[in-house]
A and B are shown apart, each in its own frame.
Chain A
């Protein structure tokens, strides 16, 4: 097999976007730029293609789709898509990876275990499309053991057949049976808290501010909107926390070792309204935000995770960075125009200031 379809994140950068998907490319870029990113590796979109083509997967999916008809723009037909998605995913997940692929995925995982210095470390298997489709594909957390890693990589691939993805492709008249994505296999951070961070104020586009939202446990709780996170607004220059809203977070998203599943666990009463981040962690995150924004040259939308076992500041990890989508794209014209200090002074001087004349 001559083509390369697996990469260490530290060896890739944004140029690899089309090869391994945006998320992987960005994580690689961040790793190479010196940010604290959990170690991991990427499987390229070619890996997806190989899996689909070298096994029966493509054939079986196409066959299933032969009889499938539904209108993607009719909400009432959604159930049809859901049924199809369930069936197709069952088919795909029942197929084994080609043996050499399986071996490669496992050997990379073995390396990750070596880096971490323990066996069967927990990893996340994350989807990474070449184009950004936030929340469309699936991510599986706390996967442990080589066999499970292999199985979950297949599950990520099969998530291109979840109902929302099929509907999306149907609406765009794209082929339904095929949607190559990359997969990131990332060492899990044993998160005591996690969340998202914008390098500008997403509410009003204020470039002076960094907005952080976080909650206890893993970041999915915040991203999915299943908890009301704590919110912080920090000034980039003074590094002062200007706004701090501590919410009743209710529950946290955690791993249950018994069921081996991620689940929402209710927080003890005294913890629900406790601050999920220390102030110094908020400030360190802000410093990271400034560096990320400077590195990419535009406002970023990031995800972070804070380890419960490592000491500050090594405990803070970046697990995602992408351009902020609302304000980042706006072309910012000149606000002041080109003026001299004298012109500005004259302008100010002739502007009447409202004085305390109350008029009777």
Chain B
């Protein structure tokens, strides 16, 4: 028998001693287990570098728990895409692995086809109305979360107003426990909404790719995407607001001058308070802060990333460079109209090349179908991963503060070291001690030691290199979400098996936005270092983040380790007309800052033209 090429099975993976005990951080059903051995070995698992490139804090895992249910159910139980099933997750060594579930038996496929055939047309025909309803209910949900009251203290005695004229009947002890449960429920509900039309949108995209490839066998995936991709209006609104505020600042001399100073955002705001124009400008900022500054500084998936609203240095540094550019007479805004027009022009050109009249009609109709529903993939991101998550992190920290105040934890953010099933235990322990009366102890020492140990485990996990895949790779990887969203293809898996050649001068990835440029590389591994980028550089990073929009007016091209054609870097690059190559797997390991690169976005090739000295 030929030797099988395979990655280790989960049970064969060895961890450094400093990671011992990592399993206890995550709920048992999220771990690989002997009792599901057959099933787990039958599937090929790969590390989800898109959503969880880094070792995962237990409480940040809540979004994954939520999306595993949500993504899967829309395919299997709601819109019932006949041959597809869900995407399952497992935690291994603090990293998340995912795998598409094998297809259902034929009779189930047949049943699902009936349900699907009934439900899909309705969504297509009513999408505009459905999107309006979606937006309304999502904004209501976010406001509800903002309105969840988290007690700031556990008072010595409940206040009089809780007694007179009518006894309230419950105390902050209950409020604390209930509020956290409510927040958890809201996160799960938000993520139910997150996938509402996403699966259908991806399906529509794949349909359009098939259609385009039948008509134009030589068409590149990137070119198809260029026809489909719209402009994510909400996700670009924060940047538009920065542009507007920067223009206001330039028009009001003292404001622009203060924004240009090399001091912190807090100091700038203090100085602005000192002038009339400054105060007026700050008022403008205050008006748009919610929702438009509720945008994550990175992906929105991790508590430590922060958002503009709580890390003002980030938006202020963008505005500083906008003000400088405006004063040089440069244009800082992008024209959404121009992007739309360019896309329409492209579609027209392709249409002209179709010879048969029937084909042209079918192509037009396929295009209209995908354009109708594909918007969802772009329009939900601001509201869910940015606005909603920002609210969540803010609320969670209020619980963190309480736990610190009552000596259960040492630091506010230590709460993220406990998973969503454990946090209620800490809270219960805290309020129980309060309820018991003066002198009753909590298990502070136990929780604090646990937090300390987990911080060490995570530090060790960050140093450790997780294996990219687990088990026997399939002959072919073609599950649509896997390829589109995670950028996993047969070639990629093959490359992982071979191990990357770190001395290579040519790196291949997805041809995700066309164009060819040459320029110096800037490798940004941590999102907070994004401010180091200089105009004209080529951004090389693990993956880009939605809030980096202002960066795209500076750079010449983007190269990422992870991501397919629909990842953020691809979308934004296309919108800015920059070449990009995504999903290279190795760009940040091979390329060094200062290397001169040639990025060929149409062919998905990055060439190191000249290595930086030293």
Contact = CB atoms under 8 A, between A and B. Distances in A.
A155 interface: no
Contacts of B217: 204, 206
Contact of A339 (B216, B365, B471): B365
Interface string B41-55: 111100000000000
Contacts of A357: 42-43, 102-103, 474
B464 interface: no
Interface string B433-451: 0000000000000000000
A348 B81 CA distance: 10
B359 A355 contact: no
A354 B478 CA distance: 6
Nearest to B116: A349
Interface stretch (A92-100, A114-122, A189-197, A231-239): A231-239
A345 B362 contact: no
Interface string A311-355: 000000000000000000000111111111110111111111111
B359 A336 contact: yes
Given A355-B479, A360-B41, A360-B42, A335 B218 contact: no
Contacts of A238: 220, 223, 226, 514, 602
B427 to A, nearest CB: 40
B362 A337 contact: yes
A162 interface: no
Contacts of B472: 358
Interface residues of A, number: 40
Contacts of A209: 218
Interface in B203-224: 203-204, 206-207, 210-211, 214-220, 223
B99 interface: yes
B3 interface: no
A159 interface: no
A29 B206 CA distance: 43
A353 B219 contact: no
A208 B219 CA distance: 7
Interface stretch (B232-240, B303-311, B345-353, B549-557): B345-353
A338 B358 contact: yes
A242 interface: yes
B353 A353 contact: no
Interface string B356-385: 111101110111111000000000000000
Interface stretch (B66-74, B117-125, B399-407, B528-536): B117-125
Contact of B356 (A332, A339, A344): A332
A208 B479 contact: no
B597 to A, nearest CB: 18
A224 interface: no
B223 A341 contact: no
B101 interface: yes
A348 B203 contact: yes
A340 B365 contact: yes
Q: Is the interface of A mostly helix, strand, loop or mixed?
A: loop
A352 B103 contact: yes
Nearest to B370: A341
Contacts of B203: 345, 348-349
A139 interface: no
Contacts of B103: 352, 355, 357
Interface in A240-259: 240, 242
Given A333-B356, A342-B121, A342-B124, A358 B480 contact: no
Contacts of B432: none
A345 B83 contact: no
Given A340-B365, A341-B365, A345-B207, A353 B42 contact: no
Interface residues of B, number: 71
Nearest to A279: B516
Given A208-B218, A336-B211, A358 B120 contact: no
B606 to A, nearest CB: 16
A262 interface: no
B355 interface: yes
Nearest to A338: B358
Contacts of B204: 345
A201 B216 CA distance: 12
Contacts of B43: 356-358
Contacts of B44: 356, 358
A222 to B, nearest CB: 23
B109 interface: yes
Given A208-B218, A348-B210, A358-B474, A353 B223 contact: no
B113 interface: yes
A342 B84 CA distance: 18
B120 A346 contact: yes
B216 A208 contact: yes
Given A240-B602, A358-B472, A337 B358 contact: yes
B218 A344 contact: no
A341 B367 CA distance: 7
Contacts of B471: 358
A349 B121 CA distance: 13
A207 interface: yes
B478 A344 contact: no
Nearest to A201: B218
* 10 tightest A-B CB contacts, nearest first: A341-B369, A357-B102, A356-B474, A352-B83, A348-B207, A240-B602, A334-B356, A206-B218, A334-B358, A341-B365
Given A341-B124, A345-B120, A356-B44, 11 more contacts: A206-B216, A208-B218, A235-B223, A235-B602, A332-B356, A345-B369, A349-B82, A351-B83, A354-B479, A355-B85, A357-B103
Interface of B: 38, 41-44, 81-85, 99-103, 109, 113, 116-117, 120-121, 124, 203-204, 206-207, 210-211, 214-220, 223, 226, 346, 349-350, 353, 355-359, 361-363, 365-370, 471-480, 482, 514-516, 602-603
Interface of A: 201, 204, 206-209, 235-238, 240, 242, 332-342, 344-360
24 contacts: A235-B220, A236-B349, A237-B346, A237-B350, A238-B226, A240-B603, A242-B602, A242-B603, A334-B358, A336-B214, A336-B359, A338-B362, A339-B366, A341-B368, A342-B369, A344-B211, A348-B203, A348-B210, A353-B83, A353-B84, A354-B474, A354-B478, A357-B42, A358-B42
